[in-house]
Amino acid sequence: MSKTVFLAFCLIAATLIIYEHAIHVLGLLPFLFLLACPLMHLFMHHGHGHGHGHGEQRPQVDNDGGPDHA
């Protein structure tokens, strides 16, 4: 019950901030884009598997530089 009340309060507060202070919120957008860059860099590199199996599954290459077709 208290979680629902808190979420409703946050929703109402966010709505009032956006409607009453829209120019301030819109003024923060460039900074939010700048903040999104390092955050995406941190979170999107998580799935790369750094240090696990790099270079183990390379395709076979002929002497002419093309892929090896049997």
**For 35-69, how does the pLDDT look when each residue is reduced to its tens digit (9 = 90+)?**
988 888 888 876 665 555 555 555 666 666 556 65
Structural domain contains residue 63: no
Can you give the pLDDT at residue 15?
Answer: 92
DSSP 1-44: -HHHHHHHHHHHHHHHHHHHSHHHHHHTHHHHHHHHHHHHHHHH
Q: Provide the number of structural domains found in the chain.
A: 1
Can you give the pLDDT at residue 22?
Answer: 85
**For 4-43, how does the pLDDT look when each residue is reduced to its tens digit (9 = 90+)?**
999 999 999 999 988 888 888 788 888 988 998 888 888 8
Structural domain contains residue 59: no
CB 49 within 8 A of CB 42: no
Structural domain contains residue 36: yes
More confident site: 28 or 70? 28
53 token code pair: 């199996």
0.85 cut: is pTM over it?
no
Structural domain contains residue 34: yes
Structural domain contains residue 49: no
Q: Which domain holds residue 18?
A: 2-42
